Structure 1
Amino acid sequence: MSKYLWIDCDPGVDDAATILLAHQSQKFQPIGISTVAGNATHRHTFDNARRLVHLIPADTPVYPGAEKPLIRELTTAPYVHGVDSLGGIQLPASESEKTTESKKAWDALYEALCRYGDDLEVLAIGPLTNIAIALAKYPDFAQRLKRLIIMGGAAKGGNYTPAAEFNIYVDPEAAEKVFMSGIPIFMFGLDVTLQSYLTEEDLDALENQSSPQAKFMVDCLQLSKEFAKTKNLKGVPLHDVCTLLYLEKPKLFSFKKAWVRVETGGEITRGKTVTDLYSDKQMEPKNTQVALVVRREDFAQLFLEMMNRYSKGSLCKHIYI
């Protein structure tokens, strides 16, 4: 195993799926998870991450991060993820909840970058507050990070507002700092994540898997399934999972390099990722690889294959039945 993985997240149903899949990767070793307020308050996202690690089970450290956006009030999404942010599913408490990692998210991530360098891949699948704080605290952070793979934004329309995708809307100032930092960014926005869904047949296949982790995921996705129906979607999108499956199989996705900035001042366009795919201006620098197309059937197949490794491996533990 030649590469290491860090996940900055706000679990979150699709964050949960990403964490579970990451621990069945045959290409990457998860070495740290950091949490941020977003889908729910930080108390919930931090506890959820630790309980997910317990469910796997693994010993991946979980580091607490930002409890609120840089300057704005926190916006959460209980109508999508449930009040506790895991679709209303209560995971058993873990022993690790009695103690807390002494390092903050941005400090732990920076130390990991210093140690692993280009061998470390970083997924940022929640609001970008922790990354922005790291940039502010460590002047060489951007130079040390070879790229940042994010779930957030949209070249076209938003989901939380007509203009903005939720993760970017929550903390647009943080997102703008990240996009302006010079870090090469791979952006998995709504343009591609809404194509990256599980059908009823896919969900049935997941339900037929025998592991406690698969059972948890089926239960966890029920609220997302109902929400998807209200939006007349073709299936249940796994937004955050795109970032991990890209690392597993890059050819699943097609990209276009583009200039991207984040709107922080607009009253009705707050959080919009202004993306120059085809304007006459052709703005520079083209700082972002924007994912636009996914091979959906292959995406779903890989998701199911990786989840099924829990049924075949030695990691299973009957803590969720």
Structure 2
Amino acid sequence: MWKLVAFVVLACVSASAQRIPIILDTDIGDSIDDALALAFALHSPELDVRAVTTVIDDVESKTRLAWKMLSVYNRRDIALAMGASEPLLDPTTSVPSKEFDVLTRNDVIPETARKRAADLIIDTALQSRGKITIVAIGPMTNIALALKTDPRIKNNIERIVIMGGAYLSSESEYNVKRDRAAAEIVFSSGIPITAVGLDVTSQCKLREKDLDRMRIADDPAAKFLIHLVDLAEEQSHEPNPTLYDPLAIAAIFRPDLLEMQAGTVDVPLSGPGQTMFKPSAGSKTQVAVKVNAPAFLELFVDRVTRGSVGLR
């Protein structure tokens, strides 16, 4: 009997050790794909979500939404922190995040969530036993501040996975454009980077059959998620969300879904916020150039329609 118990304990420890520890930095609430990315990460057993940080504009509302989701998914054990409301350069008027206020206006975030997001990133990285992966699915202000505040964290970061930029075209993308200075700091940090840009993410649009599967899921968390999707559609009048940010989550543990190319990325501080990509075989930066969109969509829907994740 004791041998069986010991075996189960060791198996659980081994499974936990193999999971990839991540910090998710998000501008959740600006569009639906951030919430879908958080749900996808929480439903993926390959990942160990250590912390969630919010960024840009109405960070109070964004942090409330993140806390609401962690509560619905029974993951209040995950550290949460409110991030920078303004970009490093060219501060602009804060844009309210009202899309999901009907769900969160009565929620109260814990006092611990008022810790500066950059400090939570630093503490989580330095206290991690192994190297940690940072996932940037919003403007990279918090990450840039963390790198500038304590450069030691570079040694504790496995890589930074970014949803941002466009590498096969001259198109400007919001996450980079919103804080060009932060993006340049991150891309020039010397840390290994995996970037999925508009070149591939724009191909990953939820199909009607995907939404139908999400609607018939019997799990309370899945029902909450589809409610968010419906609220977003009411506000934007755009059906069938594009999974920009969830693809960055998939890139962490399913790299086979993507074809990557190594190169350097420069972000000019003046101009429209383009990412200037130059192929270079020896670069630590990899950008996605192709995606198996149907396989990714199947993976995403399979995960988010599973049963509740619960505390881990």
Q: 1:314: Cα distance to partner? A: 6.6
2:283 is aligned with what amino acid? K
Q: 1:273: Cα distance to partner? A: 0.6
- Partner Cα distance (2:217, 2:105) in 1: 21
CA distance 1:117–1:195, change in 2 (3 Å): farther
- Partner Cα distance (2:91, 2:156) in 1: 31
For residue 198 of structure 1, give the secondary structure of its aligned residue in structure 2. Answer: coil
Contact kept? 1:198, 1:236, Cα under 8 Å: yes
- Partner Cα distance (1:314, 1:43) in 2: 26
Contact kept? 1:65, 1:105, Cα under 8 Å: yes
| Alignment of 1:275 onto 2:277 | yes
CA distance 1:85–1:68, change in 2 (3 Å): farther
The RMSD of aligned alpha carbons is: 2.7
Q: Which residue number corresponds to residue 319 of structure 1?
A: none
Q: 1:150: Cα distance to partner? A: 0.8
Query: Structure 2 residue aligned with 1:84, among 98, 101, 113?
Result: 98
| Alignment of 1:209 onto 2:221 | no
Q: Which residue number corresponds to residue 151 of structure 1?
A: 163
- Partner Cα distance (1:221, 1:75) in 2: 27
Write the mapping of 1:119-268 to structure 2, written as runs, cut at 5 A: 119-157=131-169, 163-222=171-230, 235-266=240-271
Contact kept? 1:151, 1:243, Cα under 8 Å: yes
CA distance 1:103–1:51, change in 2 (3 Å): same
- Partner Cα distance (1:77, 1:223) in 2: 18
Q: 1:217: Cα distance to partner? A: 2.2
CA distance 1:226–1:298, change in 2 (3 Å): farther
* Matched pairs, number: 291
Q: Which residue number corresponds to residue 13 of structure 2?
A: none
Structure 2 residues not aligned, in runs of 5+: 1-15
Instruction: Name the TM-score, length of structure 2 as normaliser.
Output: 0.84
| Alignment of 1:56 onto 2:56 | no
| Alignment of 1:19 onto 2:48 | no
For residue 90 of structure 1, give the secondary structure of its aligned residue in structure 2. Answer: helix
- Partner Cα distance (1:5, 1:176) in 2: 22
Contact kept? 2:85, 2:94, Cα under 8 Å: no
Q: Which residue number corresponds to residue 12 of structure 2?
A: none
For residue 155 of structure 1, give the secondary structure of its aligned residue in structure 2. Answer: coil
Contact kept? 2:74, 2:309, Cα under 8 Å: no
Contact kept? 2:161, 2:252, Cα under 8 Å: no
2:133 is aligned with what amino acid? E
Q: 1:46: Cα distance to partner? A: 1.5
For residue 265 of structure 2, give the secondary structure of its aligned residue in structure 1. Answer: strand
- Partner Cα distance (2:92, 2:137) in 1: 17
- Partner Cα distance (2:110, 2:237) in 1: 39
Q: 1:73: Cα distance to partner? A: 2.5
Q: 1:227: Cα distance to partner? A: 8.8
Q: Deviations over 1:254-312 (max 9, x none)?
A: 1111111112112xxx21111124xxxx6x973421012111111111111111222xx
- Partner Cα distance (2:195, 2:65) in 1: 25
For residue 183 of structure 1, give the secondary structure of its aligned residue in structure 2. Answer: coil
Instruction: Name the TM-score, length of structure 1 as normaliser.
Output: 0.82
CA distance 1:100–1:133, change in 2 (3 Å): same
- Partner Cα distance (1:306, 1:263) in 2: 38
CA distance 1:314–1:5, change in 2 (3 Å): closer
Contact kept? 2:261, 2:286, Cα under 8 Å: yes
Q: Deviations over 1:167-210 (max 9, x none)?
A: 11110011011111111111111011111221111111111111
User: Higher helix proportion, which one?
Assistant: 2
For residue 262 of structure 2, give the secondary structure of its aligned residue in structure 1. Answer: strand
